[in-house]
Amino acid sequence: MLLTVAVRSLLRNKRRTAVTLATVAVGTAALFLFRGFNTGLLNEYRNNAVHAHYGNGQINTAGYRDKVLAKPWEAWIENPQSVLESLLKIPGVEKVFPRVEFAALVSNGTRSLGSRGVGIDGRSESDFFYTINIVEGAALRDSADGIVLGRGLAHSLDVKVGSRVTLLSNTIHGTLNGADFDVVGIFHTGSRELDDAFFQIQLPEAQRLLDSSRVEKISVGLSHHNDWPRVEREIEEKISGLEATPFEILDKIYYQNSVDFLNAQYAIVRAIILFVVILGIFNTATSAILERTQEIGMLRANGESKKDILLLIGIEGGFAACLGAILGILSVVVLNSTLLRDGFFMPPGPGITRSFKTFIELQVGMALEAGALVLVAGVLGSLLAATKVLRTSISYALRQVG
């Protein structure tokens, strides 16, 4: 009965109801769309970090990342092949990438620059680390004496694909070692830290330069990123002496700080939108309830309690909020599948030197969250509007003309 009365009350003044629905729909759409935008942006950041440099996580010997070691190679991973085989037996681990990172001088014959290099398995990494963006030439793959340079580093050395460069590096024994390499590719990740100082060579060549058969770390590629907590736990339980670190920690400056910033931003925007929704519903509900003062007085005179009347008005506000939320969610879904279907380009973010394409990523949970928030806001706005009339006496209410 209360639901029937509530629907009739909403239909009594179609213009006012339409304003309420529009307020709720716009608020819901704004919440849903902004959350989808943040999710798409963060997923793009994550995709770039995972598939450009870190993988889903990284394996080191226990405590290696927390210590400053005079001879760090003594804490590198021994017998890397057996460790790789053990990692691949863990469910969810799809790829493993042994690596050695080291400092070196890169020379073009007339100019030498300090840089950091990484020895990799060129063939296995080429398919997984696809956001490294080879802008000239090709990825390392099977090129035994090839080197891939960051775009900033290549520009500083004034070298191109086909040029020959020399690497000079200290071995783990403190002696100087060097080798010549052919530039086979130039990459651009969008991260200035990587593009201006990094290069890649084959892992055996890096180990020969360093005179060590160990590897510093092993990057891990998972079937699904959400498997990381379980994989991390299994790695530390099944392979003694190793610890696993997720890419969020490795890339805290750019990715994790961006996550924290965007989540805080969303919380502020959400509070503003909900305040506007509550205020809008409060204003329209106040006008409607004041016009119904006599009707409310008759209900109370007929024995209806204040609690019953509040329930009736709350149902009206909740029904209008539900209908408005559905309209808002449907409008965002239609917008995302039409005008925003192909995504849009974002300007470079902090620490990034290139623009990138992002998409609005909508999820059912986001729709439910946005709908629930505006439902609460709608009910609250209606109840706040009702309190003024309910404080008046029955006799005064009956004398009012709507």
Lowest mean per-residue pLDDT among 49-63, 153-167, 203-217, 292-306: 292-306
Question: pLDDT tens across 252-280, in order?
Answer: 777 777 788 888 988 999 899 888 888 88
351: confidence class by pLDDT, cuts 50, 70, 90: low
323: pLDDT strictly greater than 60: yes
Q: What are phi and psi of 345, to 5 degrees?
A: -90, 140
* Number of CB atoms found within 10 A of residue 108's CB: 17
What the block records as the tokens of 10 is 């909403």
| Cα 142 to chain centroid, rounded | 34
Q: Mapping DSSP to helix (H, G, I), strand (E, B) and coil, where does residue 142 land?
A: coil
Question: pLDDT tens across 34-58, in order?
Answer: 999 999 988 888 888 898 889 999 9
Query: Strand runs (DSSP E) across 190-273, as ranges?
Result: 198-202, 217-222, 242-246
Top-confidence residue, 388 or 33: 33
In the block, which residue shows the tokens 């959350």? 35
Q: What is the mean pLDDT of residues 288-317?
A: 75
Q: Where are the domains of the chain?
A: 2-49+255-399, 63-240
Q: What is the mean pLDDT of residues 25-34?
A: 93
Indicate the average pLDDT of the chain: 87
Question: What is the per-residue pLDDT for 338?
Answer: 92
What Cα–Cα distance (Å) separates residue 220 from each residue in 41, 51, 142? Answer: 23, 11, 21
Lowest mean per-residue pLDDT among 22-36, 162-176, 228-242, 348-362: 348-362
